[in-house]
Copies of this chain bind each other. A is one copy, B any other.
Amino acid sequence: MPLSEPAAETPVLWDSLSWPELAALIEGGLDTVMLPVGATEQHGPHLPLGMDTLAALAVTHGASARTGIPVLPPISVGCSLGHTARWPGTLSLRPGTLARVVTDIAEWLHESGIRRLVMINGHVTNHAPLRCALEEIRHDFRDMRVALRSLWDLSPDIHAAYHDDAVNFHANRAETALVMAVRPDLVRLDLATDQPDRGRDAVFSYRVDQETASGVVGIPTLATVPEGEALVEGCITALVDLLDRARLERPPIDMEEPR
């Protein structure tokens, strides 16, 4: 898919395509896809359980609409073992289960002719299992490239925005603003409670129930719609840039690769 191709106007969703439509794209040079990975877990009294999936979808769909890179169906239940039964609603895969889901999917992407997989992660503790999957995929499929980016790592500015009020942020100002921008109907800002990041300098990685009583770490009451809109736009822009480079990137050392 040449860079000069005019951008799609709507996201290209892998599961909305028929197989001949996908075959035609691959025939035309497509070999890159995005995999959004979210979570289903408590996000304080004011945000929906699906916040992380929602964020990963908003950003990947936005980038797909501008680049035509397809988005795979999201992984909606991630690894949220740090949460506990104190707050109902959290669902979690074991780290090994999540990694296995991704490697199983990668095997079939490879079968379909995809060679560049960009995982866009919306939840902190998904990172390690996804990275384990990355290690296995690039080892087992020598011609497969894999990238893993969490939303907050898409640019230095975005990183700063996410961590502004908390290092171990959760349902904080940035996350709240993001949902206010994309699904305002799911935010109850009147119920938001702030909690300082008491664990930011901790030696140990505590569970969330050891860090907060409300489920919040950060200052969500400061969130506004405009900053949420700016955050989403910033993420999409950064991801589009990443994808533009991804489509053409060659390895630092350029060896012939089996197709």
Binding site for B on A (CB under 8 A): 13-20, 22-23, 26, 40, 42-50, 53-54, 72-74, 76-77, 79, 81-82, 84-85, 87-97, 99-101, 104-105, 108-109, 111-113, 116, 118, 125, 127-129, 131-132, 134-136, 138-139, 142, 145-148, 186, 188, 191, 198-199, 202-207, 209-213, 215, 242, 245-246, 249, 251-253, 255
Contacts and interface: CB of A to CB of B under 8 A. Distances in A.
A21 B46 CA distance: 9
Most B CB atoms within 10 A — which of A15, A74, A92, A202? A15
Contact of A81 (B20, B90, B138): B138
Contacts of A81: 135-136, 138-139
Given A15-B76, A85-B111, A199-B251, 9 more contacts: A15-B50, A18-B89, A50-B73, A77-B101, A90-B112, A95-B135, A145-B206, A203-B249, A204-B249
A17 B252 contact: no
Contact of A95 (B54, B99, B111, B148): B99
Nearest to A91: B108
Contacts of A112: 85, 88-90
B49 A135 contact: no
Contacts of A46: 18
A168 B91 CA distance: 32
Contacts of A210: 251-253, 255
A18 B40 contact: no
A135 to B, nearest CB: 4
Contact of A44 (B15, B18, B79): B18
A139 to B, nearest CB: 4
Nearest to A132: B95
B40 A203 contact: no
Given A49-B22, A99-B96, A108-B92, A252 B206 contact: yes
Given A129-B128, A138-B206, A49 B253 contact: no
Contacts of A54: 15
A113 B88 contact: yes
Contacts of A48: 15-18
A85 B232 CA distance: 36
Most B CB atoms within 10 A — which of A72, A188, A204? A204
